[in-house]
Amino acid sequence: MAGKKQYIVDERLWQKMISQESFSGEVKFMEPMKAHTYLQIGGEADVFACPQDTVSLENILAALNEERIPFVTVGGGTNILVKDGGIYGVVISLKNFRRSDIAKEEKDMVMFFAESGTPLQKLVSFSKENGYSGIEGLAGIPGSVGGAIAGNAGAFGYSIKNMLVSVRMTNPDKGIYEMSASELGLEYRASKLPEDTVILSANMRLRKDVKEDVAKRINSFLKRKRETQPLSEMSAGCVFKNPEGASAGRLIDEAGCKGMRIGNAEVSRMHANFFINKGNAKASDFLKLMDEVKKKVMKVFGTELEPEIRIMGRNVN
Ligand SMILES: Cc1cc2nc3c(=O)[nH]c(=O)nc-3n(C[C@H](O)[C@H](O)[C@H](O)COP(=O)(O)OP(=O)(O)OC[C@H]3O[C@@H](n4cnc5c(N)ncnc54)[C@H](O)[C@@H]3O)c2cc1C
């Protein structure tokens, strides 16, 4: 049926699969993903489900597995580009998984527990208020703890890997299980998170330090970030990973791409590795811009850029 959008799961099928008693939380149908991404780009997801608790999440995963319906998990939507044709299947948002607390306190360390939907900046603020060190370089990175783990977020030589002890997760085949941080294969902006696995929560270790020193480091990282990145504009952070020994932003800048624009997607004039939605940009324009920039960098430097942002969804028919 050319031109007509196909849904794999609609309201009727959802209600057949997921009984009212088995699910607590919010669910929306044909939900525009632009409402759930920092870039404010993206077509409709068949279903956008925000389970309230682990049981509801497990029930959805079991039903989707049984019906062979694809799903993706999102946190804050700050590192994703959703294509204009939207997402076929179910988007699971962990925004209701927000409990966090000190799990254990030792002489020099604290063990911190956070559910995956906890905003990363909540942990940074908590560390600043209490003088816990280890997380300073993550100051100003938007999004959730789950998203930060999935992509090993970091900056200024810090990454979430350095403080992570273990992660609790669930998978439609295995159920709930725990992995140590070392088993997750966290590398520069990447993890070996098994496919179809949803991060539920994490344990992180922070070091007790002088409160004023922690605050000073956080403030200085935030200042550097504000001075160099277009934080108030609609972006998804750095579009490309830094190639070995080089800065993707510098290569893009020196290849002459700053300010390059396709439709309403533009290479930031402030930081060339941030691409901005100047207003109602299409994912297709963003992708074309990525392609053009990649080609230019390849032509000038012979370097192949690899995306850091996660691209999901389908093209318009
Ligand atoms: C202005 C700006 C500045 C930024 N600065 C930085 C920076 O300095 N350093 C940096 O590393 N990043 C930066 N980013 C990118 C982004 O904020 C981080 O990558 C962030 O950690 C992503 O978290 P999120 O919750 O938004 O993830 P999302 O964008 O929602 O998802 C990202 C990926 O993680 C997966 N995921 C999310 N939650 C889960 C879960 N619970 N279980 C399994 N998989 C999950 C998704 O499927 C997706 O593949 C920046 C982004 C912006 C917009």
What is the pTM assigned to this prediction? 0.96
Average of per-residue pLDDT values in the chain: 95
Separation CA 42–CA 1 (nearest Å): 22
Flag whether pLDDT at 1 surpasses 80.
no
Separation CA 200–CA 115 (nearest Å): 6
pLDDT value for 7: 73
Atom of ligand 1 nearest to the CA of 159: 11
Pocket of ligand 1 (CB under 6 A): 38, 72-80, 94, 116, 141-144, 146-148, 150-151, 153-155, 189, 198-199, 229, 231, 235-237, 310
Q: How many A from CA of 149 to the centre of ligand 1?
A: 8
Give the residue, out of 71, 79, 96, 169, with the most ligand 1 atoms within 8 A of its beta carbon, to mutate for a pocket test.
79
Domains in the chain, ordered, with CATH? 15-93 (3.30.43.10), 100-228 (3.30.465.10), 248-312 (3.90.78.10)
Separation CA 169–CA 62 (nearest Å): 14
- Bridge partners of 164, per DSSP, are 204
Provide mean pLDDT across the span 189-206: 95
Provide mean pLDDT across the span 264-276: 98
pLDDT value for 225: 96
Percent with pLDDT over 70 in the chain:
98
Q: Would strands 261-262 and 198-208 be described as parallel, antiparallel, or unpaired?
A: unpaired
Task: Give the C-alpha distances (Å, rounded to integers) separating 185 from 18, 52, 60, 175, 299.
Answer: 34, 29, 27, 20, 33
Flag whether pLDDT at 283 surpasses 70.
yes
pLDDT value for 195: 87
Contact between 39 and 74 (Cβ < 8 Å):
no
Contact between 230 and 276 (Cβ < 8 Å):
yes
pLDDT value for 2: 45
Contact between 180 and 161 (Cβ < 8 Å):
no
Flag whether pLDDT at 3 surpasses 70.
no
Ligand 1: residue whose CA is nearest its atom 36: 147
pLDDT value for 4: 56
DSSP state of 230: -
Flag whether pLDDT at 190 surpasses 60.
yes
Flag whether pLDDT at 63 surpasses 50.
yes
Two tokens, residue 154: 């970091």
